[in-house]
Amino acid sequence: MRILLVEDDETVSRVLRKHLENQHYVVDVVRNGEAGWRYGSTFDYGLIMLDVVLPELDGICLCQRLRSEGCSTPILLLIGEATSAVKIQGLDAGADDYVVKPFDLAELSARIRALVRRSKANPSPILTWENLVLNPSTCEVTYSGQPLTLTAKEYELLELLLRDSQHVFSTDEILDNLWSSEEFPAEATVRSHIRRLRHKLTAMGAPDLIATVHGRGYYLRSPALTETAEAPPAKAMQPVSQSALLLIVDGDPAFTHPLIDQAAQRGIRTAIAPTAAAAQIWLLPTAASAVDVVLLRLAVSNASDGAAEFSERQSLLQMLIRQTTPALLAVCPPEQIASLQRCPSKHQRFLKPSIPLEQLLTVVDNLLR
């Protein structure tokens, strides 16, 4: 996470910067309020820390200006006077919290973590991706319970990907998030860190979790996807093509796991997109692997998947119907099938949820031939 520190005391800013960087934060330091305004209104930060007493523009006025311009970044005031008047002024100006100098660094870190948690949609401090666990409170990373040793930048890169696992981060976004404005790394630096992080994860027994979307960037893909997409068939049965790829748009393990196993026996590679948004990434023209068939499961409960996800899958269905590739296999509520079959296509099939798994895969076989 990137932090803006606006502090004119060189000794304080040096101590704070070192402490924050040891906590794996990227820190921009400026010395006066006007510079703080230029940085705060130009760059995206996860947190802004403002000294109250600053040259050119004091911290409370700077806080007011940022808020008046729509800045929603958490703001933490550094207060030299522990008077009620200053605290009230700061909070009324739009600050989220304050600490009084001289402050305990451990308490400061705890307050920063609390502010960041409150600003996120998911308040949980623990970030997980199947067997991969990252604890921002302790900066510890484990895979299958075993500690994973990372450099500061590798840790920051992994945390960035985990915090928004459905987002494809461009090289520029990664540079903006992980390097301060005083550093000027090349794009090759990002690729180098991605490569080393991948190596360390796979050395721990993890599948290749970091996917590359050529021309766009990087994202975390489903462990189920990485385990099945490259796995050789357990037993060749009616092989279609070793390169055929079936994209399953569903996140229910009770449905996907048996399907993955039986598809592997038929020589069909599988990939899991647990959400419609994840499926869109796989269907981009620049995606690394071409999808041959999309199995889109629509016969799901709104209560379990959420109304928004259900609606996104319906939109994805309409988009796929308008296309000739990839082939489409949609598992739909019975009442929806009649309307969908009015425009028949040899590349599209619409099936009831009650269809046996063996029959479903036979339809996949036919679509692949």
- In order of start, what are the domains of the chain with their CATH numbers? 2-119 (3.40.50.2300), 127-220 (1.10.10.10), 224-368 (3.40.50.2300)
Gyration radius of the chain's alpha carbons: 25
Taking Cα atoms as reference points, which of 35, 98, 44, 34 lies closest to residue 70? 44
So what's the pLDDT on residue 235?
36
Distance from C-alpha of 114 to C-alpha of 123, rounded to nearest angstrom: 9
For residues 209 and 219, give the distance between their C-alpha atoms in angstroms, rounded to a whole number.
8
Give 10-residue mean pLDDT values along the chain (369 residues). Answer: 91 91 88 92 89 92 91 91 85 91 88 79 64 83 90 90 81 85 78 90 85 81 52 38 74 82 80 84 70 82 61 87 84 74 70 85 82
- pLDDT at residue 197, as a whole number: 92
245-249 β-sheet, strand order: 269-273, 245-249, 293-297, 327-331, 348-351
Task: Residue count of the chain, please give it.
Answer: 369
Where are the strands (E) in the chain, listed by range? 2-6, 26-30, 47-51, 75-79, 97-100, 127-129, 132-135, 140-143, 146-147, 210-213, 217-220, 245-249, 269-273, 293-297, 327-331, 348-351
Q: Within a 13 Å sphere around the CA of 50, how many CA atoms are in the beta-carbon half? A: 35
Long-range contacts (CB closer than 8 Å, 24 or more residues apart) made by 181-189: 181/28, 181/39, 181/43, 182/28
Give the residue from 134, 112, 164 showing the smallest Cα distance to 2.
Answer: 112
Largest Cα span, the chain: 78
Reduce the DSSP state of residue 197 to 3 states and report it: helix
- Count of beta carbons in the 10 Å neighbourhood of residue 340: 18
Contact 314, 282 (CB under 8 A): no
Contact 351, 363 (CB under 8 A): yes
CA distance 241 to 255: 23
The string of pLDDT tens digits covering residues 13-27 is: 999 999 998 888 889
Exposed e or buried b per residue across 265-274, where buried means at least 16 C-beta atoms within 10 angstroms of its C-beta: ebbbbbbbbb
Pairing relationship of beta strands 132-135 and 127-129 according to DSSP bridges: antiparallel
> Rounded CA gap, 189 and 171, in Å?
10
User: What is the per-residue pLDDT for 123?
Assistant: 46
pLDDT for position 291: 82
Q: What is the pLDDT of residues 108-159, one digit of tens each?
A: 988 898 888 776 644 446 788 878 888 877 788 999 888 999 998 899 999 8
Structure token digits, residue 206: 């993890």
Contact (Cβ atoms closer than 8 angstroms) between residue 199 and residue 209: no
The pLDDT of residue 31 is 92
Q: What is the pLDDT of residue 37?
A: 93
Q: Are 218 and 169 in contact (CB under 8 A)?
A: yes
Q: What is the pLDDT of residue 5?
A: 95
Residue pair 168/213 in contact (Cβ under 8 Å)? The answer is yes
- pLDDT value at position 234? 36
